[in-house]
Chain A
């Protein structure tokens, strides 16, 4: 059969078929080639793939915003946040596209004009805008598309958030409630008054101890023997001889020399669009002809015609050029010139340029004597680094080979074995202040098997090997040592209970009697101890916020009666509140109040809107790919 295919696969028909087949292959091949990067998918949102790469980028931004070191476990949570945020972004973009949000040219222009970086003396400056984009190597069309996309997204959010409102009547109702005042009377039962009345028996203490044994344990702790390899010590111990320094200097003379600088001026005709290359070439050639003919000077042309507007202001001067900081073509041209020589037009990375070197500051090599101090520091650093690596390798290896003892490893590198104070899995001093050291100290290998640890690198760049010399497992604290702690805790607990109990009983009596007169009968205090506070607002400081909040959550009092309520305070006291009357608040709306209300409802409505968007989407997440 293969033979028959082979026989027939001849002639123009076959070629035509192959030709047709090639096209899609070539296209998909190119597509894959340009895709690049991590192609795994972090989520699929309404059929649209979200790449792992996109989520990683967001994650990186989140981390940079938080800055510094993150607590453990935070990483997972952040990953979740990043994924959520990219999903929501995608949903919004889809919605913008599907519903047809598109900011107008005028809005895009206004938004760009409003950006500080493009302004000159408080006004938008077209030249600043263009040279800024050129410096950033961004295409104006692409930049404007980005601004348009951002604006469209802003429009979607604002569609909900900035059209939200509360009708005037409703806003006034809130305002009135906010400004409401309540006439209050408060009596407080003090915990201190009841403390003497409670007792705790030894049985209660014993029972509490039995029930809470786990809270009365000593911490597990260890003492470590360790050998520490210190960079600073190694650096101080390097023997320096002149010959070695001299050799070092000779080998690295370049680093101690000041490189050659060339002061350069140029005329630039930039080429943004490869299609206009020829046009640019024609222009630069015409300008060059003018210089050669002497009709105009280099400076005049640089001022008037150069596309480098920043240099143009200074007759084309672009400052000093040092090899290595610029594009290769440009440097090649610059370093081929003599002082005051003007180049013919050259094609560089930026377009076409005519380049002139106005001054050459030759490289200034330093003599050994001039550089000696730097040379010695660098030499020591280099040698110490080498010694650190060598000794670290030996220390780690010997500690591993003879893992029952640290002495042989210490001897091999000429250091002594030291010992730490006690440390627990969460706390330690000296080298044990380092998390890695403590983790290693309580690891299976080191603690259970009694072996030397691996070579551990500390934050300061030093390295240690540790082993456990003393170990105390967590132990039950005997009852006797904690008896008084428990007694104090139980006494406080009982006193609280008693105070609250008395308070609740009193509250019932007060509700029934509708008068503070029952206070005296109950023997808990006299009417004079009642604080008659009068009308108070929600944020009045005459009363603690705890009591105030409760007082403002009491029902409106009925005619001729008070509403009674109570609250157990954090300090154990028990407050009883009588709400005598309520005074409606001023409902007049200030502009601030109105803005706060519409913002509050706006943010709730936007949350709901975005949640609805999310709920109605088909989202498939692959957190395992992150």
Chain B
């Protein structure tokens, strides 16, 4: 920086620089502005999608109490057009609930499998797997249930998994293993929520 320049020289230099880089600078700015608008558009689009899905789910929730057939169309719309929102998975789980509580296990399992295969949300997948295992057990598909439960789950689901292992062992008539699994489940299930496990555990007695 030892050579002094006059303002004119500096202007000349800037002009030269602009000639060389002007286009890319303008392109850059245009890109940035375009990106900003694009981003805004994308956000708006996402918000619209989410609220539409939410409204559809609200319909499903209301209808599912009375008529599952009516809800079915909306659930399909959610699964096909709104799979990227959480509401598609929630609606599917709602459907599974309504079927399974009536003893219609096949469609319940189908709905849960959709969640396992399509949800973006890892924890919904874990929950759907656990619920699917329960449904499979009720269908006496013990081996399939066991395969699901033998997958890896985060520590937080330990109590639910151990309880299901207990149920599977009971179905396989492995009572000693079942007792151990229920005992583990009760240890990690907090407070009164372990009451139902205790019901099953106590019924197995101490063995001999």
Tell me the bound Cα distance from A247 to B190 in angstroms. Answer: 70
**Segment at the interface with A among B17-25, B29-37, B66-74, B96-104:** B96-104
Q: Is the CB of A170 within 8 A of B134?
A: yes
Q: Is A552 an interface residue (CB 8 A)?
A: yes
A window 146-162: CB within 8 A of B = 155-156, 158-160, 162
In the complex, chain B residues whose CB is within 8 Å of the CB of A612: 123, 126, 154, 156-157
B117 lies within 8 A of chain A by Cβ = no
Q: What residues of chain B lie closer than 8 Å to A156, measured between beta carbons? A: 86
Pairwise interchain contact A615-B103, C-beta atoms closer than 8 A: no
Task: Tell me, yes or no, whether B146 is within 8 Å of chain A by CB.
Answer: no
* Residue numbers in B under 8 Å from A607 (CB-CB): 190, 193
Note all chain A residues with C-beta closer than 8 A to B84. 100
Interchain CB contact (< 8 A) of A169 among B10, B49, B103, B189: B103
The interface bits of chain B over 1-30 (1 if a CB of A lies within 8 angstroms of the residue's CB, else 0) are 100000100100000000000000000000
Cβ of B100: which chain A residues have Cβ within 8 Å of it?
Answer: 165-168
B138 CB to nearest A CB, Å: 4
B196 and A174: CB pair below 8 A? yes
A105 to B167, CA, bound (A): 44
Query: Considering only CB atoms, which chain B residue lies closest to A156 in the complex?
Result: B86
Contacts of B123 in A (CB 8 A): 609, 612-613
Min distance, Cβ B7 to any Cβ of chain A, angstroms: 5
Interface: A603 (CB within 8 A):
yes
Q: For the complex, is B178 an interface residue (Cβ under 8 Å from A)?
A: no
Once A100-B46, A106-B58 are accepted as A-B contacts, the answer to whether A556 and B196 lie under 8 Å apart by CB is no
- Bitwise, B170-208 to A at CB < 8 A (1) or not (0) is 000000000000000000011001011001101111111
Are A180 and B203 also in contact (CB < 8 A) when A604-B160, A607-B190, A616-B154 are? yes
Whether A555 contacts B86 by the Cβ 8 Å rule is: no
Interface of B is mostly: helix
Please determine whether B86 and A598 come into contact, CB atoms closer than 8 angstroms.
no
B49: min CB distance to chain A, Å: 8
**Residues in chain B near residue A552, CB distance under 8 A:** 202-203
Asked if A449 CB lies within 8 Å of chain B CBs, one says no
Which residues from chain B contact A594 at a C-beta distance below 8 Å?
Answer: 101
Bound: A156/B123 CA distance, A? 12
B51 at the interface (CB under 8 A from A): yes
Contact pick for A13, options B10, B124, B200, CB 8 Å:
B10
| Given A102-B47, A165-B131, A604-B160: A598 touches B137 (CB 8 Å cut-off) | no
Structural contact, A605 and B138, CB atoms closer than 8 A: no
**B90 on the interface (CB 8 Å rule)?**
yes
| Contact in complex: A167, B54 (CB < 8 Å) | no
CB distance from B108 to the nearest CB of A (A): 7
Q: What's the tally of chain B residues with a CB closer than 8 Å to chain A?
A: 62
**Interface presence of A330 (CB below 8 A):** no
Q: B86 touching A615 by the CB < 8 A rule? A: no
Please tell me if A559 contacts chain B, counting CB pairs below 8 Å.
no
A604-B52 contact in complex given A99-B121, A159-B93, A178-B199, C-beta closer than 8 Å = no
Residue A217 at the chain B interface, CB threshold 8 Å: no
Does B159 reach chain A (CB closer than 8 Å)?
Answer: yes
A171 near B: Cβ within 8 Å? yes
Query: Are B86 and A100 in touch, CB under 8 angstroms?
Result: yes
For residue B130, which residue of chain A has the nearest CB?
Answer: A605
A176: shortest Cβ distance to chain B, in Å? 10
Which B55-96 residues sit within 8 Å CB-CB of chain A? Answer: 55, 57-58, 61, 84-86, 89-90, 93-94, 96
B207 and A555: CB pair below 8 A? Answer: yes
How distant is B50 from chain A, measured CB to nearest CB, in Å? 4
Smallest distance from the beta carbon of B15 to chain A beta carbons, Å?
14
In the assembled complex, which residues on chain A have CB atoms less than 8 Å from the CB atom of B200?
Answer: 173-174, 177
B134 touches A102 (CB 8 A): no
Quick one: given A597-B196, A609-B127, A612-B154, are A555 and B90 in contact (CB under 8 Å)? no
Q: Least Cβ distance of A518 to chain B in Å?
A: 20
Interface string of A594-611 (1 = CB under 8 A from B): 100110110111011101
Give CA–CA (A168, B108) in the complex, Å.
Answer: 11
The reply on A554 being an interface residue by CB < 8 A is yes
Chain B residue nearest to A4 in the complex (CB): B1
Decide yes or no: A106 and B55 within 8 Å by CB, A170-B134, A597-B196 being known contacts: yes
CB of B134 within 8 A of CB of A174, answer: no
CB distance B202 to A553 under 8 Å?
yes
B138 engages A169 (CB within 8 Å)? yes
Q: Kindly list chain A residues whose C-beta atoms are within 8 Å of the C-beta of B189.
A: 604
B96 touches A165 (CB 8 A): yes
Q: How far is the CA of A243 from the CA of B50 in the complex (A)?
A: 78
Instruction: Check if A99 sits within 8 Å of B86, measured CB to CB.
Output: yes
Contact B90 A170 (CB under 8 A): no
CB atoms of B58 and A104 under 8 A apart: yes
Name the CB-closest residue of A to B175: A555
Q: In whole Å, how far is B61's beta carbon from the nearest beta carbon of chain A?
A: 8
B101 to chain A, nearest CB (A): 5
With a cutoff of 8 Å between Cβ atoms, the chain B residues found around residue A603 in the complex are 193
Closest CB-CB distance, A584 to chain B, in whole Å? 11
Q: Which of A600, A612, A616 has the most CB of B within 10 A?
A: A612
The answer to whether the Cβ of A103 comes within 8 Å of any Cβ in the partner chain is: yes
B50, A100: Cβ atoms closer than 8 Å: yes
B50 neighbours in A (Cβ, 8 Å): 100-102
- Which residues of the partner chain A approach B130 to less than 8 Å between Cβ atoms? 605
Distance between Cα atoms of A556 and B208 in the complex (Å): 11
- Shortest C-beta distance, B92 to chain A (Å), equals 9
Of B54, B196, B205, which is within 8 A of A107 by CB? Answer: B54
| B7 nearest in chain A by CB position | A11
Cβ of B66 to closest chain A Cβ, rounded Å: 14
Partner of A167, one of B135, B160, B204: B135
**Cβ A177 vs Cβ B199 within 8 A:** yes
A598 near B97 (CB under 8 angstroms)? yes
Evaluate contact between A168 and B157: CB separation under 8 angstroms: no
Q: Which chain A residues border B167 with CB–CB below 8 Å?
A: 170
Is A318's CB within 8 Å of the partner chain B?
A: no
Q: Which residues of the partner chain A approach B120 to less than 8 Å between Cβ atoms?
A: 99
Name the CB-closest residue of A to B97: A165
Within the complex, the shortest CB–CB distance from B201 to chain A, in Å, comes to 8
For B199, the closest partner residue in chain A by CB is A177
| 7 nearest A-B residue pairs (beta carbon) | A555-B205, A104-B55, A102-B50, A167-B138, A611-B156, A168-B103, A163-B93
B-side interface residues toward A, CB under 8 Å? 1, 7, 10, 46-47, 49-52, 54-55, 57-58, 61, 84-86, 89-90, 93-94, 96-97, 100-103, 105, 108, 120-121, 123-124, 126-127, 130-131, 134-135, 137-138, 154-157, 159-160, 167, 189-190, 193, 195-196, 199-200, 202-208
Pick 21 A–B contacts, CB within 8 A, sort by A: A99-B121, A102-B50, A104-B51, A105-B51, A155-B90, A163-B90, A163-B97, A167-B135, A167-B138, A168-B101, A169-B138, A170-B167, A173-B200, A174-B200, A177-B200, A552-B202, A552-B203, A554-B205, A604-B193, A608-B160, A613-B123
Known: A168-B100, A552-B202, A600-B193. 17 other contacts (CB 8 A): A12-B7, A99-B120, A99-B121, A155-B57, A163-B97, A168-B103, A171-B101, A180-B203, A554-B206, A556-B203, A598-B97, A598-B101, A604-B189, A608-B160, A609-B156, A615-B154, A615-B156
